[in-house]
Structure 1
Amino acid sequence: MNSTRVKICGITSVADAQTAVNAGADAIGLVFYAPSPRAVTIEQAREIAASVGPFVTVVGLFVNADESYVCEVLANVGLHLLQFHGDESPEFCESFHRPYMKAIRMRPELDLVGAFDKYASATAILLDAYRPGVPGGTGETFDWQRVPKQSLRPIVLAGGLTPENVASAIQATHVYGVDVSGGVESAPGKKDSQKVEQFIFNARHA
């Protein structure tokens, strides 16, 4: 069976990017959402993206961003994948002609099949915990039994993952990938190298 892919999100420095890459991360995430403690400027993002090498996917995370801002980021930062974490329409997500991943927050009343169908053009669907008014990074998990066992597209699991629970999460869901940010930090926006290494090790050996 293929090993689960790992994305380390909320990278704010070249040093933390190198920590993730050296530990074996498949992807890093750069947050282009000003209210987040993990937000980066275009200048910071350009330097980080250029530092990871050609075989690590650089993901840009946006939350209800203006089209012009997304285009400005794309013109200046070497992103491979866009991640939309707000209320973006499929048409908006598709308009940049780049592979994209759509985050879906697992509200109790969510029609998950309908959400998957709505974003049929997405390269992957990311399932995250739901907290009203918070677009992500809550540090909370959700009921992993709600993750579809069969899907035509890769599913990435997020929400409250840590080195301690990631193996259980993968065993319960058999997802394509896992996405972590706060669960491997010493402080918001600052990665803990030991936690990053342990998270990736545990994910690989789940």
Structure 2
Amino acid sequence: MLDTHVRVKICGITRIEDAIAAVRSGADALGFVFYAGSPRFIHPEDARDIIRRMPPFVTTVGVFVNEERNRIEAMSRTSGIHSIQLHGSEHPEDCSGFDRPVFKALRVSGLESLASIQLYETAGILLDSAVPGTWGGTGTVPDWKCIGDFLDKDISGIRKRLILAGGLTAENVKMAVKIVRPWAVDVSSGVEFEPGIKNHEKMKEFTYAVHCATCA
């Protein structure tokens, strides 16, 4: 049995109606992608208009990929996001010195790729699938057992700041949570009609499945 409530982040929000539906479904956090190469890209000004209409205690996260620090800071101020997610090939030293909490995303391709986790002293570590030529949102599932086994041997408490992503859906998230036991899960393509357009029913089913996993 899991001893903590697993938080839910719904990423790739581009429309106010989807943001409202995500919050109503029970999402704890919303992600806004500020990487122009993503089909879920949103301008910081448009994200700001959505964020301003969100209720208290909903965390908003800006996703950046190999972006310059001054642009990250500028877009963060403009949008009003609470946290920064660095989803590219940023080094540990690139993740410090911001005025907002930072989550570092790492792409999992095997046990070797997990070894670098301990180099990042960020507020959160997000584990996604490694798919050549992409930076996430592919719907590809990482090796949960590999991740779970690695974390079982960890003595530094990484699970307390671990966010699991990669191919999660309402059908598989319960199993993923039980194997990996993350602090939070992150979903994007698994609750969409198409990139950037969320399926409100799938979001409800997803958050319900996560909550069931923590109390079973």
TM-score (normalizing by structure 2):
0.90
Q: What is the match of residue 55 of structure 1?
A: 57
Q: Per the alignment, do residues 83 and 174 of structure 1 end up closer, same or farther by CA in structure 2, a change over 3 Å counting?
A: same
Note if contact 2:10-2:31 (Cα within 8 Å) is conserved in structure 1. yes
Q: Which amino acid aligns with 2:130?
A: Y
The separation in 2 between residues aligned to 1:98 and 1:146, in whole angstroms, is 31
Q: CA deviation at 1:79?
A: 1.2
Q: What is the match of residue 131 of structure 2?
A: 131
Give the share of equivalent positions with the same residue, in percent: 44
Of residues 28-37 and 45-54 in structure 1, the stretch that sits farther from structure 2 once superposed is 45-54
Asked if 1:145 is matched to 2:148, the reply is no
1:149-199 CA-partner distances (Å, limit 9, x unpaired): 345231111000001101111111111110000000011100000000000
Structure 2: 5+ residue runs without aligned partners?
Answer: none
Q: How does 1:185-200 map to 2 (within 5 A)?
A: 185-200=192-207
1:57-110 CA-partner distances (Å, limit 9, x unpaired): 000000001222112112212111110000112222213232111111012363
Partner-residue secondary structure (3-state), 1:51: coil
The separation in 2 between residues aligned to 1:32 and 1:95, in whole angstroms, is 20
Q: How does 1:23-102 map to 2 (within 5 A)?
A: 23-102=25-104
Structure 1: 5+ residue runs without aligned partners?
Answer: none
Q: Per the alignment, do residues 33 and 182 of structure 1 end up closer, same or farther by CA in structure 2, a change over 3 Å counting?
A: same
Structure with a larger share of its residues in helix:
2
1:158 pairs, out of 165, 172, 189, with: 165
Q: How does 1:101-116 map to 2 (within 5 A)?
A: 101-108=103-110, 110-113=112-115, 115-116=116-117
Partner-residue secondary structure (3-state), 2:52: helix
Of residues 90-99 and 30-39 in structure 1, the stretch that sits farther from structure 2 once superposed is 90-99
Partner-residue secondary structure (3-state), 1:125: strand
1:14-52 CA-partner distances (Å, limit 9, x unpaired): 111101101110100000001111000011110111121
The separation in 2 between residues aligned to 1:110 and 1:48, in whole angstroms, is 39
* RMSD (CA atoms): 1.3
Note if contact 2:60-2:81 (Cα within 8 Å) is conserved in structure 1. yes
Asked if 1:117 is matched to 2:118, the reply is yes
The separation in 1 between residues aligned to 2:76 and 2:56, in whole angstroms, is 17
The separation in 2 between residues aligned to 1:155 and 1:178, in whole angstroms, is 8
